[in-house]
Amino acid sequence: MKEQFLGFGLGLRAPHLEQIITEKPAVDWFEVISENYFVAGGKPWYYLNKIRENYPVVMHGVSMSIGSTNALNIDYLKSLKETIARVEPQWVSDHLCFTQVGDINSHDLLPMPYTQESLEHLASRIHQVQAYLGTEMIFENVSSYLTYKESQMTEWDFLAALHHKTGCRYLMDVNNVYVSARNHQFDAMTYLNAIPKKAIAQIHLAGHQDFGSHIIDTHDEDVSPPVWDLFTRYAQQLGPVSTMIERDDNIGTLEALIKELDQARELVQPFWQGMAKNE
């Protein structure tokens, strides 16, 4: 994995492809959904190759199911490895979760139970996957709406322990932390401060829907004021980390997303520039 600060990026989405190619907007980098490129050719690759001429690209998967107790899906990993070779991304990420139980694929990002057994299981799977792919993986924290009676530790203690055990790094979705903190009534900054700073490789910012008694991670709304506040407080102490806006539905215009991206830049750049000067 290439260790560098890429700046401020966007998730690459189909409605914006032509505009990005023709206008070359002021975006530092783009994140692509890995599985969208598990094909030999066609329009997806045409657009991506054009965009790669002008922007760094990272890959973000949604189907690895690293936490599943099913055998690793070698066909999936083979497709991922081939896609990594073609894209030459700055890094590759997926979610720290499971999606499959036996023959049932939930098509959802299900949180892990936070037990010692889960920790050992994930550590083994991460080593296997990285050895097969020949590259390090970054893993994203997921939002949650339930907890397991079997859990023996908090999510943040679990992530810190997994990092110490494997050296794996995280794509910290600040919105997901906020969602889980609200749903389970814990302090979001306690979570964020528990993860070693060196373990954070990337940040996601996204929107959610608030139903009062609970909130749902939907990625179809603007980043909310409480998430902006949490991100700003976290960034003040974290230092420069590649940060992006993620929007998966109700995508809207490229201009609107760039406006949000500029807000992220304006909120944290003064702190990060000050840190760089003091080093």
Architecture of domain 8-278: Alpha-Beta Barrel (3.20)
Give pLDDT tens digits for 105-153.
Answer: 656 788 889 999 999 999 999 999 999 999 999 999 999 988 889 999 9
Q: What is the pLDDT of residue 1?
A: 47
Residue 237 has pLDDT above 70, yes or no: yes
Distance between CA atoms of residues 217 and 209, nearest Å:
7
Side chain identity at residue 255, one-letter code: E
* Burial of 98 from C-beta contacts in 10 A (0-12 / 13-18 / 19+): buried
Distance between CA atoms of residues 43 and 47, nearest Å:
6
Q: What is the mean pLDDT of residues 80-95?
A: 97
Concatenated DSSP letters of 46-59: HHHHHHHTTS-EEE
What are the structural domain ranges in the chain?
Answer: 8-278
Q: Which of 47-61, 138-152, 265-279 has the highest mean pLDDT?
A: 47-61
* Burial of 53 from C-beta contacts in 10 A (0-12 / 13-18 / 19+): exposed
pLDDT band at 273 (very low <50, low <70, confident <90, very high): confident
